[in-house]
Copies of this chain bind each other. A is one copy, B any other.
């Protein structure tokens, strides 16, 4: 049996242990209504697996449309209305079964419905297992910008059940792997050494547990992202801007694909400004490009991506702050970067 990971006020609990915990809180809290929030994919491929763990469970299904482009206020309005129309009240429970869109948006809806109801996250993608479901961040996109509107709001439990990963295609697994790799980069040389030599992705219980533990430790140290938690943003400053920029285009990327590019760019900047070794820089570029392939950017596109950086949530006082690395496992916080150097990092990526 895999050990629970204890976050701020709730456990991240694996497989049957997680389902048992959920049964317990449902029993203890005598919820007025139980809602399960799915998208068309998790409705089809995951809901039955979830329900299998419960003998009797009177539960109301509410559905969102999958895709980052639907992680918006319009979908929230639909969810608030569904919950309200189906008799939800402040003593109801919302269970989010899905990827990051479902857990982030469902968490936001739970945190704001009647000033906050209980919720549970059951991530079904690798990305949401190791990233979105840990750390109590909820959110939706606003305009072209990701997670602009959101809250900090703790779930009652996060259930990790790797069986759901069988429902994913390779592209989706890869997308989550980018975060697994990032966690090793910023925090754990040992895990990094396991991953860097491989020309395929490694996903097993142990890596998932390690990866969540890394993120959770940072969250425990610094819930509101004053310092240590910022390290999780490695590769994300440019990665988010790239993801936002390409969202409506033919070159639309998965989160992991965008972050993989962002990590190569940030590692280059780390080499330039923080003495990060050339050798590791090359290894990381080779590893990530081998897995994620190459994306081409025109100069004009790079200009527009840099323009988008201004709106990064982590900014303040008009400055764009980067997380860089001194070496594997040693982040450097709040580094300001010139536009020229960013352009240079894209040149390195493209070379």
Contacts and interface: CB of A to CB of B under 8 A. Distances in A.
Nearest to A310: B87
A236 interface: no
Contact of A313 (B81, B90, B314, B317): B90
Contacts of A114: 148-150, 313
A291 B142 CA distance: 46
Interface in A65-100: 73, 77, 80-81, 84, 87, 89-91
B148 A89 contact: no
A77 to B, nearest CB: 7
Interface string A136-153: 011100110101111110
Interface residues of A, number: 36
Contacts of A137: 115
A94 to B, nearest CB: 14
A316 B90 CA distance: 6
Contact of A152 (B77, B115, B149): B115
A113 interface: yes
A149 to B, nearest CB: 5
A275 interface: no
Contact of A316 (B32, B80, B151): B32
A216 interface: no
Given A89-B318, A90-B313, 17 more contacts: A32-B317, A73-B73, A73-B77, A80-B142, A80-B149, A81-B142, A84-B143, A84-B311, A90-B316, A91-B316, A91-B317, A108-B112, A112-B149, A113-B148, A114-B150, A114-B313, A116-B151
17 contacts: A32-B317, A73-B73, A80-B142, A81-B143, A84-B148, A89-B313, A89-B317, A90-B313, A90-B314, A112-B149, A113-B148, A114-B148, A114-B149, A114-B313, A115-B139, A115-B151, A115-B152
7 closest A-B pairs (Cβ-Cβ)?
A: A91-B316, A32-B317, A115-B150, A114-B313, A89-B316, A32-B316, A112-B149
